[in-house]
A and B are shown apart, each in its own frame.
Chain A
Amino acid sequence: MRDFDAYDDTAIERLLHEEGWDRPLPPIARQKPAGWYRVAFWGLQVYIAVMLVAVAVSFIRGVH
């Protein structure tokens, strides 16, 4: 593979422009959960809580 400086200016400029490397990425806004997203998040939180309790119980009982 050639070194960066071995490519000509036009090729570099064209790539910068065409692929957008000379522009900042658009910002990402925080999305408030709504609809089924909200249900999914609640489900996830319940699942995590249940699994953490299960892990705690199993370790306390010394299953392994």
Chain B
Amino acid sequence: MAVQTQDKVAALSGRESKFADLPASLRERLRDRLHVAELRRRPRTLSTRLLLTLALVGPGILVMLGDNDAGGVITYAQTGATYGIGVFLPLTLLLGVMAYVVQEMTIRLGAVTRRGHGELIWKRYGTFWGAFSLIDLVAANVLTLMTEFIGIRVAGAVFGLSPFFTVPAAVAFVAFILVFLRYWTWERIALFIAVLNMVFLPIAFLSHPEWAAVGRAFGTWHVSGGMLSASFLVLVSANIGTTIAPWQLFFQQSSVVDKGLLPQDIPAGRRDLALGVTAMVLVAWAIIIIAGQTMHGLPGAQNFQIEQILASIHASVGDTATTFFALGLMEAGLIAAIVITTSTCWAIGEAFDLPRSLNEDPRKALGFYLPGILGTVLAGVVVLLPGVPLGFLNLLVQVVATIFMPAAMLFLLMLLNDRELMGEHVNSAGRNALALGIMAFLILCNAMFGVATLFPHLL
């Protein structure tokens, strides 16, 4: 027995010395990949398939549920309040498909090149476009984080919590898991929080919608005021803006790289994204149904802010639904804060060629972790200042995204057509046609929303 133990120790010490020169971050990633490889070698039973699926999900679910952020919750609620459970239910499904097409490209790009979006732009198209993308992304991220913390602040107030507790606690939590957890654990915790986004589903049932009307919404596309009315177009654009945003392209690609996904994992990455898109659409439907049921027809519903939305739900559905909605809002803000902060770290690491993995020891990669944390702290501090102009912040977020979106889309399409980088995984002609159509539509709607926001009297 003692001899066996000695042998094991000797074997272990021998192995440790053999791989001792591997960087700690690579050892972490290899461990994750060894786990996947081990699961793939096992007999294909149901439990093995489930474990493999669980091991490979992450970036897709996180990006799509992170996309249902505090601002998204407000947009969906305003949509349901204005148009009821009508045209926006099928439209959200269409937006989900569009999001899938766009985000799928980042999976291939990351898995094939093993590089993040920011790094590819910087190295392939030069300093100007690299710096432009980075500055725009970081500015948009910090501004978006402010809206997330406003959502957390308002949701905390429902439970009688002071903003001086909820906001710093959220900032501390985001920073803690970013700095002290390695990729695998960080991703698992983020996924757990992301899945809580589903809390909106039971509220939709509690609001007792007319399910026949929900079903009919998919067959009739009637829009009161017409599909070319300014209010409809602005809400369509806002819904698109909340479904596909520039940070998502950067986040998912970097996440795919940091998770260590490779070309053979692309199908798994697609399934992960499909799960995320499905969950995103279900949650969006739930919020639209809740708002359509509780706020549709109320005067000024289109411009309801989160406090009025919560008050309407409380008046129509009661305490339990309000509590769930506030929890959902807090979760939406928190998961978005987690993924957006991480996307800032990755983008800055890629731009300045720093060690750029959540597997890096913070003592050796301060330059990677610190900028993201500082941006998040800044957003948290601003939100705690008295009289924060929420409308102005939302305006700024939209303006920055409007300027950035075409560039992000253009770079994505160019990189996906770069045969030197992508090899056999380059976009096919059909996929290009689809992507071009979607991108043109997205850019048009984004620009239109920007114009409508800046010059509301033009539409």
Contacts and interface: CB of A to CB of B under 8 A. Distances in A.
Interface of A: 1-5, 7-9, 11-12, 15-16, 19, 21, 25, 28-31, 33, 37, 40, 44, 47-48, 51-52, 54-55, 58, 63-64
Interface string B212-235: 000000000000000000000000
A54 B392 CA distance: 16
A4 B406 contact: no
A64 B395 contact: yes
Contact of B35 (A2, A29, A33, A64): A2
Contact of B28 (A4, A28, A40, A54): A4
Given A4-B27, A19-B262, A37-B414, A25 B403 contact: no
Interface of B: 12, 15-16, 18-19, 26-35, 37-38, 113-115, 119-120, 123-126, 132, 184, 260, 262, 391-392, 395, 399, 402-403, 406-407, 410, 414, 418, 421, 447, 450-451, 454-456
B114 A7 contact: no
B33 A15 contact: yes
Contacts of B402: 51
27 contacts: A3-B31, A4-B28, A4-B31, A5-B12, A5-B16, A12-B15, A12-B19, A12-B30, A12-B34, A15-B30, A15-B37, A21-B26, A21-B33, A25-B113, A25-B115, A28-B120, A28-B123, A29-B123, A30-B124, A31-B124, A31-B125, A31-B418, A33-B125, A48-B132, A48-B403, A55-B403, A64-B391
A54 B456 CA distance: 13
B410 to A, nearest CB: 6
B352 to A, nearest CB: 15
Contacts of B35: 1-2
A5 B13 CA distance: 9
B131 to A, nearest CB: 13
